[in-house]
């Protein structure tokens, strides 16, 4: 069966510090990968998605970037965090071979920028 791992679960970082959140998927090959941010009362916001190694699409301009160095690894980064980067970050995957397949989420990272 497929599993998705996301870490760390919680993170407190000062303004201006760098960020690296990692997500890995097991049990499937060539998945679509996604980074979402969830803010209270604002629902799920798609940040980045990837259909393959090195292929990243950005949905919104922001202080964050994403990379996919391996087929089942997705990384969310920032060089300098802003207070507004605080939130709940979720990684997700879907089966690329199945059109309109549902997303499966990790358990998220709660980021607090102080």
Interface residue list for another protein (CB under 8 A):
6, 41-44, 46, 90, 92, 100, 102-108, 110
Q: ∠112-4-44 over CA atoms, to 5°?
A: 50
Question: Rounded to the nearest whole angstrom, what is the least distance from the CB of residue 19 to another protein in the complex?
Answer: 19
For the CB of residue 12, give the shortest distance to another protein in the complex, in Å.
15
Q: Between 43 and 61, whose beta carbon lies closer to another protein?
A: 43
Kindly state the greatest CA–CA separation across the chain.
41
Q: In angstroms, give the least distance from the CB of 24 to another protein.
A: 14
Closest residue by Cα to residue 86 from 67, 62, 103, 68 = 62
Nearer to another protein, 61 or 102 (CB): 102
Cβ nearer to another protein, comparing 9 with 15: 9
Q: Buried b vs exposed e over 45-65: b needs ≥16 C-beta within 10 Å?
A: eebbbbeeeeebeeeeeeebe
């Amino acid at each position: 069966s497929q599993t998705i791992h996301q870490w760390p679960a919680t993170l407190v970082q000062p303004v201006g510090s760098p960020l690296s959140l990692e997500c890995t998927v097991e049990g499937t090959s060539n998945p679509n990968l996604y980074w979402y941010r969830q803010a209270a009362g604002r629902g799920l916001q798609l940040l980045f998605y990837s259909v393959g190694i090195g292929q990243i699409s950005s949905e919104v301009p922001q202080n964050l970037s994403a990379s996919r160095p391996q087929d089942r690894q997705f990384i969310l980064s920032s060089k300098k965090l802003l207070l507004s980067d605080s939130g709940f970050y979720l990684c997700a995957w879907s089966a690329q071979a199945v059109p309109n397949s549902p997303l499966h989420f990790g358990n998220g990272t709660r980021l607090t920028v102080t």
